[in-house]
Structure 1
């Protein structure tokens, strides 16, 4: 079992908080699509012919591509890989791209899951973020996708930013429930260097984000999703039973995947690989039939820390037996380090599994870092 991630490096405009790789110019769109197809062929052996269970179009904004380009890339994958008949195939989309014609066209492709970047149902928040859509478009896009027959839908929301009062946050959560979307990804606003948001905060044009606000709103989110029957299966992801994102869940479970496109990362258990985050250099390398990537051989310590970082974030938890499979004698060492978090109620142990408590989920990154070898 394995996955494929395809990075589409284009956006209509730059969100103020985003530090992902993208360009707001579509000048080299055709060349990028052709190069993505070429890279799919060049990377075909990275996964050792494992069957493909998930395909994920991320970015950037994949919905800037048309249905023909999406089908072309999926057909290319099919020529080089064995794709499961029930593969989960996701496209990230912005609400303003999902007009009736676009949705109907995507219905004719193999896409079977939508990830819709809503972020907020308040126009003032969307303007502050420099999002390209407005709240009424978010509602309409979700309903349009549902009316077209798509049931596997997730929406993105952001919390912990200065404009978001607790009352507005509750409204956003409730609106998502009203739309009967079976999956939610929710992210705390982070201030990344070299973003417009970082510059605005530095110039005191906007207030800094508040850790206490983020913690309070995250706690409220956990409580509200639980009452609605969602499973909190990873720190930022909530899904109804059977509606987890298989692609993202596999990241946390250590399932191999190959990343295609500028800035995309790959992992196969033995190595980690990352492509250059530059469209021109990406195109130049593929023009010469070269992979625009750097590769790192993973040591036992790398694999241990990779497993700790990913597993501790999930409802399935950190399996001490798996640590032992990576390197003998490590479970005892980790359990000794974890004792402080077991004592203060941030972790619980059930047999050989360590999982975060609700309080512990507020400190997931800190806990993982303290457990690293």
Structure 2
């Protein structure tokens, strides 16, 4: 017997039943999946919001970090700039330090050189000071000998001083005057000319040269005397020198004017009223001559206290005053002192010229040998008196 064939309806119903079950299961699955997806979507949305908020916060933090980073970078740039500036300044300072070190080294060398130079100068100064002390001593010795009339001793001291200090005009001037009084005219002129080249005042040199050439070259002497008053118009000694040489030349009026100018310039100089007294006696104005002589005596007392006049000239002035007053016995005493204090032929001639001028002016030539004889025989003729 053949088996029964399947019933199509049953099969269809079975299929439908399974299909429904499958569909129901599928629907249930879809529903479950939908619920799951809905729940997952809900959770995802929340997470997404959280993620967004976190991202926003992260972005804000990132922005802040970026600002901070930019500030740090800016600070770093500034620090770099400052570092570069400091580096440049450091380079400059290093350069300055190097320059300063170089200068310090140079200054140290200069200081060393200065110290050596100072030592040399101190040594030189000590030598010059010692020399000047010795020169001063020799000059003072020579000056004292000159004022006492010991011209040879004066020349000896002054020549030693010139050897030590050849550029000293004062020493050479006094040496020239001492040589003049010894009659060594050529040597005297050389010393006076050299003294003038070493800044001896021109008028002093001119006056000394005028007196040097007084007897040998009177015209030249007068020219020097005139120059001395041009170069030193305010020095009374220059005018007295000019007056003396004008008197030698016979121009008594001009001589008187020169001495009067000297008297206006210096009210204490002893020689001025003495010269004026001689000229007044020559003009036969004896009262005026005696007044002038008295004035000279008055000044003489003050000058002797201050050691401003040589003993020889003091004796001559006193002799003149006694002769003007006719006191010949007193005049003899002063003539004796003149003889004792005269130390050279040059001084003897100067003394005798003044004495002879006065005696001739007073017409007292008979007294000439009485007063001049001993000096002339000793110094001007070579015969002992």
Give TM-score, length-normalised by structure 2.
0.28
Higher helix share: 2
- Give the number of the structure whose alpha-carbon radius of gyration is greater: 2
Higher strand share: 1
Q: Which has the higher contact order (CA 8 A, sep 6+)?
A: 1
